[in-house]
Amino acid sequence: MDCHYKSKSSAETKKLATLLAKEILKFPINQNKNKKENAFIIALKGDLGSGKTTFVQGFANGLGIKKNIVSPTFLIIKNYKLKNKNYKNFYHLDCYRIKKIKELNSLGFKKIITEPENIVLIEWANKIKKSLPKNTLWVCFNHGQKENERTIKIYENASSY
């Protein structure tokens, strides 16, 4: 399933992300111990200023996070606790400065993405594409014709974009 959206403003981008977060929170985690589960991972791809951080802000709001969300460009990973029966943590990653996956792994990346109670949004995820599970949800951002317009495409499979 691939979805395409046109956003005319940052408010519309945030609203789309808020709705997506609320839908994700509705679904229980698969507790089947025989099946390998991962965190719910959303990989964000797009040029500078294309709406990735705006999307994360709306998404965090949909999760019930009231804090001001900014990209953790220098911290790389930021964790927020969730008050939800299905998910316990929201991780916001920014891979803009990442040169090699080893840099992320030293910050506990593998553990973060393999814990089913985590929701993980990754800005600049195309830099670490090979390290992400196949079931990663991809959200691609492009500038539109007008200054505040954005095209947002959601893919269930990285090979679709």
Task: For residue range 48-83, list pLDDT tens digits in order.
Answer: 999 999 999 999 999 999 999 998 888 899 999 999
Give pTM, 2 decimals. Answer: 0.90
Task: For residue range 101-119, list pLDDT tens digits in order.
Answer: 888 888 999 999 999 999 9
Residue with tokens 């606790």: 81
Confidence grade of residue 28 (pLDDT, cut at 50, 70, 90) = confident
pLDDT value at position 36?
59
Mean pLDDT over each residue of the chain, to the nearest integer: 91
Amino acid found at 147: E
